[in-house]
Amino acid sequence: MGDNAVFSDMVSILGEDSVARNVSMKEYTSIRTGGEARYLAEPATTEEVIKILQYLRENRQNFYVMGNGTNLVFPDSGYDGVVIRIGSKLSRIGHEGNRIMAQAGASLAAVSNMALDAGLKGFEFASGIPGTIGGAVAMNAGAYDGEMSHVVAETLCVDDKGRLIRLKGKEHAFGYRKSRIQTDGLVVLEVTLELTPGDKSCIKRRMEDFNGRRREKQPLNMPSAGSVFKRPEGYYAGQLIQECGLKGYTIGGAQVSDKHCGFIVNLGNATSQDVLDLIRYVRKTVYEKTGILLEPEVRIIGGEL
């Protein structure tokens, strides 16, 4: 299929304000690296997500579903296909009783603020994670002893055949930073959380405490994709990296943060290749010195380490 046909078909499904060509992924990822996606599509309704997925599958077009891009590294050569961004255009949030219902593109910060307003506790852990709730379910994101698996009651998803399915609790097959969403190639449309009533001032204090700890320990003033590696059992990745003498180690524009060695920061002009080379170097060094092989938590599109 010709380029123009794909573009105009997508415009007819999503409208012209929601499809763009040759979009730099630097602008859409928190680490600010990567080349251009051939197309970026931003559906504004769940029906549009279903339709665009169906269209792309029927026409055998490559696609990649992203949220807020806070855990992603796109190749410098770009992405030869359609990046579907489920973000602020699909971010309605509501609540009823102890439940919060959010569209997949709602930010975790907005959902935690809604929980606070509703006097519901159990979601404070997520308030400082910079992603969407859809991305957080896919990753089973977590912090400060909380994780999505503790609070997700159900999700509405599109499966790899384009069918709508509802998953409840254990059906998500949550593990450490993984879920069935990723293994089965599902796209999250809506998430329902089950929380518990709590005292608003306690909820607020916990959110402030967690966010204060982040500001103190993490290099939040620099572009990054958060913790690069999963926590190896019994250790902390950042601590191992620091003990191996890699604090501040730099390749090109990518640096092991001197504030938190688990983060790789973009000094301003990093390429994705710099980031990948640094990830490889850190992994190799830590393995040689400790025998522990660090597994990446960040998602490297189109690449293996």
Please say which residue, 71 or 271, places its beta carbon nearer to ligand FAD: 71
What is the rounded CA–CA span in Å between residue 266 and residue 255?
7
Q: Which of 227, 231, 257, 272 is catalytic?
A: 227
Least distance to ligand FAD, CB of residue 159, Å: 11
Least distance to ligand FAD, CB of residue 33, Å: 13
Are β-strands 93-96 and 19-24 bridged in parallel, bridged antiparallel, or unpaired?
unpaired
Contact 39, 85 (CB under 8 A): no
Angle (CA) 68 70 71, round 5° = 120
Please say which residue, 55 or 229, places its beta carbon nearer to ligand FAD: 229
Candidates 22, 45, 44; CA nearest to 34 is 22
Least distance to ligand FAD, CB of residue 31, Å: 7
- Is 243 catalytic? The answer is no
Q: What is the binding site for ligand FAD (CB under 6 A)?
A: 30, 65-72, 86, 104, 129-132, 134-136, 138-139, 141-143, 181-182, 187-188, 218, 220, 224-226, 299
Please say which residue, 72 or 237, places its beta carbon nearer to ligand FAD: 72
At 69 the three-state DSSP class reads: coil
Q: Which of 32, 177, 206, 299 is catalytic?
A: 177
Structure tokens given for 294: 């660090």
Q: Which of 231, 257, 297, 299 is catalytic?
A: 297
What is the rounded CA–CA span in Å between residue 83 and residue 20?
10
Please say which residue, 70 or 149, places its beta carbon nearer to ligand FAD: 70
Please say which residue, 68 or 271, places its beta carbon nearer to ligand FAD: 68
What is the rounded CA–CA span in Å between residue 228 and residue 70?
11
Candidates 191, 281, 172, 295; CA nearest to 237 is 295
Structure tokens given for 135: 């991305």
Structure tokens given for 22: 């040759």
Least distance to ligand FAD, CB of residue 69, Å: 5
Least distance to ligand FAD, CB of residue 183, Å: 11
Candidates 303, 298, 304; CA nearest to 69 is 298
Type of residue found at 176? Y
Least distance to ligand FAD, CB of residue 288, Å: 27
- Is 297 catalytic? The answer is yes
Please say which residue, 249 or 263, places its beta carbon nearer to ligand FAD: 263
What is the rounded CA–CA span in Å between residue 171 and residue 286?
35
Instruction: Provide the greatest CA pair distance for the chain.
Output: 58
Residues assigned a catalytic role: 177, 227, 297
